[in-house]
């Protein structure tokens, strides 16, 4: 069984919540990627789960302002299904590097 299959249908964004809409707004505010967020969400969720992190990084090469941006999430395990995790967006931070 591949890692992809392990997490299939077990990771979710709360797509219809205010937190997801804020995540979407922030992502587009900072991202220069031509790929719509809709096509990236499964990869983002899977990478956060496999690395056991509650954030993902938009690197400075793909950011409008040339900074690394970190998108932070609160992870909720659903009581009705202990294998499903729901990710709620908490906000973003960025890293300032000195040259």
Using CB atoms within 10 Å of the CB of residue 77, give its burial: 0 to 12 exposed, 13 to 18 middle, 19+ buried: exposed
Tell me the pLDDT of the chain averaged across its residues. 85
Find the mean pLDDT for residues 35-60. Answer: 92
The total number of structural domains that make up the chain: 1
- Which residue has better confidence, 48 or 80? 48
pLDDT digits (tens, 9 = 90+) for 13-34: 888 889 999 999 999 999 999 9
Q: What is the pLDDT of residues 75-99, one digit of tens each?
A: 888 766 666 788 889 999 887 665 5
- H or E stretch at 94: strand 85-95
Q: How confident is the model at residue 1 (pLDDT cuts 50, 70, 90)?
A: very low
Domain that includes residue 82, residue range: 3-95
- Spatial strand order of the sheet with 68-77 comes to 11-13, 85-95, 68-77, 55-58
């Amino acid at each position: 069984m591949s890692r992809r299959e392990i997490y299939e249908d077990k990771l979710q964004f709360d797509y219809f919540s205010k937190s997801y809409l804020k995540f979407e707004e922030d992502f587009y505010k900072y991202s220069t990627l031509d790929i719509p967020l809709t096509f990236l969400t499964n990869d983002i969720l899977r990478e956060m789960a496999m690395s056991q992190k509650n954030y993902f990084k938009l690197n400075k090469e793909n950011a409008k302002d040339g900074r690394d941006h970190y998108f932070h999430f609160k992870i909720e395990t659903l009581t009705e299904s202990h294998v499903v995790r729901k990710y709620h967006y908490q906000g973003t931070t960025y890293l300032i590097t000195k040259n």
